[in-house]
Amino acid sequence: MTSLTDKTRTLDALFSRTRLLPLLNIERLDDVLPLADALAEGGVNTLEITLRTALGIEAIALLRAERPALTIGAGTVLGAEQYQAVLAAGAQFVVTPGCTDELLQCGLDGPVPLLPGIATASELMVGYRLGYRRFKLFPAHIIGGVGLLKAFSGPFKDARFCPTGGVSQDNLAAYLALSNVMAVGGSWIAPAELIAQQRWGEITALAHAAGQVGSA
């Protein structure tokens, strides 16, 4: 069984290569490959496919089969049954909007890293007690954003975060400037309207622009 420490190292290695994590809600399976290609052309090679739509698991399996050079995670995982389903589809990491005892145990027992969602210091401490040191902060901007992350850096010096929820091109630099932010996630890199209209070139441009901030 892969240790939690090793899974933490895996996340650190992943986000040392890219600090952007686009959250993708797939409405049409035909969009999956051109969307992934558009993002990759813009320099974004790590994707989170959410389970907010019925096609999420199928999209993960398709990307793992057809685009093996990309790193594909599963998001909006709400329970153990979904956790096992995304593993079977080939997800290389799992992201949750919140943390439950059930999901934290899945992350301990499973073969891939889990990035549990937290919104408070108390939730963080539940994961922290089990050995988790990497978390998703959600919904980041509503609950304090940059200020909250700065506050967390005091008592939780070895915790690092991927804030999502309200992150945009306008505030991206402020988040990425924080030492305890390893990456940021959001849907602004590939907005639903651009996906629906198959405006792949514009998505590539957005990915490139976000990447320029992330590498500055």
Place of tokens 């069984």: 1
Task: For residue 25, tell me if it sits in a domain.
Answer: yes
Please tell me the total count of domains within the chain.
Answer: 1
Is 166 part of any domain? Answer: yes
**Assigned domain for 78 exists:** yes
pLDDT of residue 215: 59
Residue 180 lies in a domain: yes
What pLDDT is recorded for position 76?
A: 98
Has residue 216 been placed in a domain?
no
User: Does the pTM of the predicted model rise above 0.85?
Assistant: yes
Which pair of structure tokens corresponds to residue 38? Answer: 């558009």
| H helix runs in the chain, sequence order | 4-17, 32-41, 56-66, 80-89, 101-109, 121-130, 145-152, 172-176, 192-196, 200-214
What's the confidence (pLDDT) of residue 214? 60
Q: Is 7 a catalytic residue?
A: no
Determine how β-strand 114-115 pairs with β-strand 117-118. unpaired
Find, among 18, 47, 6, 5, the residue nearest to 195 by Cα: 47
- Catalytic one of 48, 58, 81, 123: 48
Answer yes or no: is 201 within a domain.
yes
Query: How much is the pLDDT for 2?
Result: 87
Note down pLDDT in tens along the chain; length 216 residues.
789 999 999 999 999 988 999 999 999 999 999 999 999 999 999 999 999 999 999 999 999 999 999 999 999 999 999 999 999 999 999 999 999 999 999 999 999 999 999 999 999 999 999 999 999 999 999 999 999 999 999 999 999 999 999 999 999 999 999 999 999 999 999 999 999 999 999 999 999 999 988 654
- Identify the active-site residue in 27, 136, 157, 202: 136
Is 154 inside a domain boundary?
Answer: yes
Question: Does residue 136 have an active-site annotation?
Answer: yes
Containing structural domain, residue 13: 4-210
Extract the tokens encoding 22: 């686009």
- What's 41's domain CATH number? 3.20.20.70
Tokens of 149: 């992350």
pLDDT at 105: 98
Contact between residue 147 and residue 128 where contact means Cβ atoms under 8 Å apart: no
